[in-house]
Amino acid sequence: PRPLTPVSAVGGGLRWADPVPHGDEVWCVLEEFTGEGPGDVRRVPVAVPLDGSAADDRSRVRELTAATHRFVTGPRPSPDGRRAVWLAWDHPRMPWDGTELRIAEIAADGLLTDARTLAGGPDESVVQAEWAPDGALLAVTDRSGWWNPHRVDPDTGHAVNLCPREEEFGDALWKLGHRWFAPLADGTVAVVHGRGTARLGILDPATGELADAAGPWTEWSPALAVRGTRVAGIAAAPHRHHEIVCLDTASGHTRVIAEPHHDAVDPAYYPRPRARVLTGPDGREIHAQLYPPHHPDVTGPPDERPPYVIWAHGGPTSRAPLVLDLEIAYFTSRGIGVAEVNYGGSTGYGRAYRNRLRERWGVVDVEDCAAVAAALADEGAADPRRLAIRGGSAGGWTTAAALVSPAAEGRFACGVISYPILDLTGWAGDETHDFESHYLESLIGPLDKVPERYLDRSPVNRADRVRAPFVLLQGLDDVICPPVQAERMLAAVAGRGVPHAYLAFPGEGHGFRRADTIRRAVEAELALYALVFGIEAGAGVPPLELRS
């Protein structure tokens, strides 16, 4: 291999994303740091020559248009080579709040000219745009309240919903390059769709008919690729890990082509999950996935209800997929139930559900997690005295917020907080990366207008309300939720008589990657539950030392 792109010693250097070949170039996004701060950055669509001449000469990288927006996706040229489209948005919006579908003419010199906004805006989220082989422009937008596929007139911007359903054909654009749909040569479109799920289907744009692919897979990643009549993607299911699967649309046959699922443990130990819709405050719906305790050879005492742990997912604009997770099986096979809560603000259930969290982070998510815990106790499925909550990143925030919130007071016996946000004011400053640096304006409100809200909701400022034991897990190389957030919380609870433990992991960033770290974190979590719930942790689990 030989390099195509130059390097830079400034800040985070030069980064390249969302590439697509175009003639003798690769069109992509350039992220260029202009200083040492996380916000000292510009992003622009560029063309990189394939002959390698730009590797030592930055001037050989052609900037296709001016850097007029903070965030852009890679440009997609039309089949006739006359036009290109891309997505753009600016702070303080996140891409699930509002994006713009941009279109421009491709001039004779290869530059993008006469750029204009074709669709989208502050309250419309376009998450993907592609040209079909016949030149039709397709885009997934939530203008109907749901991310549905549309055909967009490239001249007028008039959009026609190709499959108007209260389902999602897209999701939060956390990364460039997500591909929820892929046009096929015969005019049909492979789509990932569902309501709280992500199935693979083939859509006929002419009729709106949608046929799902055969097979056990219930969760397809936004990574579709097509060639001829075949569609390839990454898929999983409640009892199958992610594997690479191919659908032949001509025959309807679906098969695994790479990374096939192998049972790392006896599948008899896998949990038996089920999706639930529960009722929360004000009668609102809360979506959750329940994993009751399950062991092939052992059952709990008939007169004893099991402990349960509420799992709050990260994001928070995301969701917990219903797929095989051996970490969940680790706990359910030891007699501890798990409930994954897709609280208000989660994706997968339309824009209105997603918008429940606007300026209500730390309120709605906490109320929904507490409501699911209460429902499990009221139904007799869980022991009300042995309920816990855990989460990482935004889920770590929800966990900590639940331990200090009056809405969940007395509900949780303990918590496990991983690489969290705990101090909103600090995080809104310069303590995270550029992409999420204005996220709190929609989740909490503008800092300059509601500074007291940032103070009131931050767990570090409510440490006097913590009563339940907790474990705090942190990667020391985390640049998204840096260790200083955890350190402030530890200082705030010091000497207050709250049993807690802090495990810091050198070399780990946002989300743990090393096998030894993951094992230590899971064992520390089990050890906490054993202490609080009065159960046996089992042989080989190191004891957990709690300090007050």
pLDDT tens digit sequence for 319-377: 999 999 999 999 999 999 999 999 999 999 999 999 999 999 999 999 999 999 999 99
Q: How many percent of the chain have pLDDT more than 70?
A: 100
In this prediction, residue 178 carries a pLDDT of 98
Contacts of 437 (CB under 8 A, 6+ apart): 38, 39, 91, 428, 430
Q: What is the mean pLDDT of residues 209-230?
A: 97
- pLDDT tier for residue 94 given thresholds of 50, 70 and 90: very high
Q: Would you say residue 399 has pLDDT above 90?
A: yes
In this prediction, residue 426 carries a pLDDT of 95
In this prediction, residue 11 carries a pLDDT of 86
Q: Domains for the chain: give ranges and CATH numbers.
A: 64-258 (2.120.10.30), 267-533 (3.40.50.1820)
Write the CA distances from 146 to 45, 163, 172, 527, integer angstroms: 28, 11, 12, 42
Mean pLDDT taken over the chain: 97
> Tokens for 207?
């009729």
Q: What is the mean pLDDT of residues 263-270?
A: 95
Q: Would you say residue 231 has pLDDT above 90?
A: yes
pTM: 0.96
Q: Which of 433, 497, 431 is nearest to 458 (CA)?
A: 431
**Bond preceding residue 316 cis, omega within 30 of 0:** yes
User: Residue 192 and residue 181: Cα distance in Å, rounded?
Assistant: 6
Q: Would you say residue 218 has pLDDT above 90?
A: yes
User: Residue 225 and residue 202: Cα distance in Å, rounded?
Assistant: 13
Q: Would you say residue 282 has pLDDT above 90?
A: yes
According to DSSP, residue 431 is labeled: S
In this prediction, residue 430 carries a pLDDT of 86
Q: Would you say residue 12 has pLDDT above 90?
A: no
Give 141-172 pLDDT, tens digit per residue: 999 999 999 999 999 999 999 999 999 999 99
Q: What is the mean pLDDT of residues 178-183?
A: 98
Give 291-314 pLDDT, tens digit per residue: 999 999 999 898 999 999 999 999
> Tokens for 106?
């491709």
Q: Which of 492, 465, 469, 434 is nearest to 36 (CA)?
A: 434
Q: Would you say residue 189 has pLDDT above 90?
A: yes
In this prediction, residue 476 carries a pLDDT of 98
Q: Would you say residue 440 has pLDDT above 90?
A: yes
